[in-house]
Chains A and B, each alone.
Chain A
């Protein structure tokens, strides 16, 4: 059974469909990234998973329990940070953790200390939260959601406002938790490079719809790689290439010509160009980054271009 099951969930606010029959499953031991431009519905989706926002239609199940009808049971399996982890600033970090531990069953003092140790706040835990840096608050937020040994972690923009070291730290923590504690983790972000390093699978959400779910590797590599040919004269090469590979999306760049093609076609291309007396100075394979894939997907309305490319 999947740790999280989102079953055709919709949310209508003032007659406007914010989320449109979204379905998704996240498994144990997996870090799932929810990716999308601002206002696409990431935060709404995440808040629906933790019951902060009600659903208009559909249901969400956490380890089999519905967040709608069996809230207390479902939510007890979840640990979450929603946006910045806002804590009670006038209390110490430890008092904050105590405060939240009183709201779940069976959290011992020992467990609190264990979690504090895990996130590396041991030295400062008895100081007031208002003296903490953003990174430390984020770590305290992480501690807060690990207190009750959840099966599911949900983090909304966990790296927001963190410096590179802080981002790396969070990333390592998440990977470790997914691997060692077999948690299902959902992370939302609009930082693509981040997601690429952190997640196993990625779902792209736009205008309230889930466009596409794929593993990160697939996502980056699913399409034919682009090859950059440094050739001279360019015009001649373009004519030849366009003639031989009409589907190849041949484009002229500043110093080179790019073509979208399978790798095994490269020797043929070289042969053809050499035969026609075109000088080849170099051929480079360019992997598309997640960012390029993402932009391609989201700027072409409903991902039509992506579908076209990937089904080819």
Chain B
């Protein structure tokens, strides 16, 4: 099995496209870093001292808005305001200035949206890993080895997961590196303020970042699994990429729209992929819990795998 995974990794890392993808990811982080640095130099704080006053002024305004909105504004907007107010109050009470110097960790947090891109590249790999063998015609040579089709498919899936982790690692470590070079390593990092169930909790920022990266990546793994399944079932690279990308971009929005009217939306894949909703924010459909979502994800995962295996093992390789 290790040798099979080794084979698959070789086939990924001997292609130029893979390096273009990694290069793009690094470039995006670098550009963001440069942009942040530029912005920082423009707004050197003149008001380091008066932040408490500013926050209380801001809070009064926020409270006014909140009172006006209550009843007719969407729920998530109200919750956002409540969260801001609670965090601001917490800062004033515990003497935690929001104007701490922008540090390495803040940059890593700002780079976290790029997880979507790491995800996109993972999907491209997952979509191609079975379909390409059919396109190249190499599937014929691959399947006449003394190895069952099941093992071949499993090794390909393991490779996708390894590639996904690799991309995540590259992103996280490179963002940390760029952050450290451009913004410096803070002596004592300020904690991240987490707002859950109406309470504010302090959390070490590193812990927060790693949780964010991993939980956001659950989404990617699920989409990659789906792309992998489409790739194995339809042998079509573009279909697998196209469908997965479409769902990646639109899936949660469509689910949100359905969720407004129907409760069964909570059984949809995209109602459950965003596990961050249980750490920060509110679930799409009321009453959903982390356990529920994880169970749903496992069910979808098994479904995708079963489909991929069933079709791949039965298939007549005729063309």
Contact = CB atoms under 8 A, between A and B. Distances in A.
B143 interface: yes
Given A51-B144, A52-B143, A104-B146, A90 B14 contact: yes
A103 B317 contact: no
Given A72-B148, A75-B144, A53 B316 contact: yes
A104 to B, nearest CB: 6
Contacts of B3: 102-103
B318 A103 contact: no
Interface stretch (A80-88, A116-124, A272-280): A80-88
Interface string B107-145: 000000000000000000000000000001110111111
From B14, B145, B318, residue with most partner A Cβ within 10 Å: B145
A111 interface: no
Size category, B interface: 20 to 34
B146 A47 contact: no
Interface in A57-79: 71-73, 75-76, 78
Contacts of B318: 44, 47, 52-53
From A51, A73, A102, residue with most partner B Cβ within 10 Å: A102
B289 interface: no
A86 B140 contact: yes
B145 A80 contact: no
A230 to B, nearest CB: 52
A185 B49 CA distance: 88
B140 A102 contact: no
A87 B6 CA distance: 17
B243 interface: no
Contacts of B146: 72-73, 75-76, 103-105
A10 interface: no
Interface residues of A, number: 33
A84 B137 contact: yes
B14 A144 contact: no
A245 interface: no
A112 B287 CA distance: 62
Nearest to A43: B318
A46 to B, nearest CB: 11
Interface in B1-34: 3-4, 6-7, 10-11, 14-16
A72 B147 contact: yes
Contacts of B142: 103
Contacts of A85: 141
B167 to A, nearest CB: 20
B130 to A, nearest CB: 15
A91 interface: yes
A88 B11 contact: yes
B56 to A, nearest CB: 62
A105 B146 CA distance: 9
A76 B146 CA distance: 5
B10 A95 contact: yes
Contacts of A102: 3-4, 6-7
Given A88-B11, A103-B3, A82 B136 contact: no
A53 B147 contact: no
B14 A47 contact: no
12 contacts: A51-B143, A52-B143, A52-B144, A54-B314, A75-B144, A82-B144, A88-B138, A89-B136, A90-B14, A103-B142, A104-B145, A105-B146
Given A52-B143, A52-B318, A99-B11, 10 more contacts: A52-B140, A71-B148, A72-B146, A75-B144, A86-B138, A87-B138, A90-B14, A103-B7, A103-B142, A103-B146
Interface of A: 13, 44, 47, 50-54, 71-73, 75-76, 78, 80, 82-91, 95, 99-100, 102-105, 144
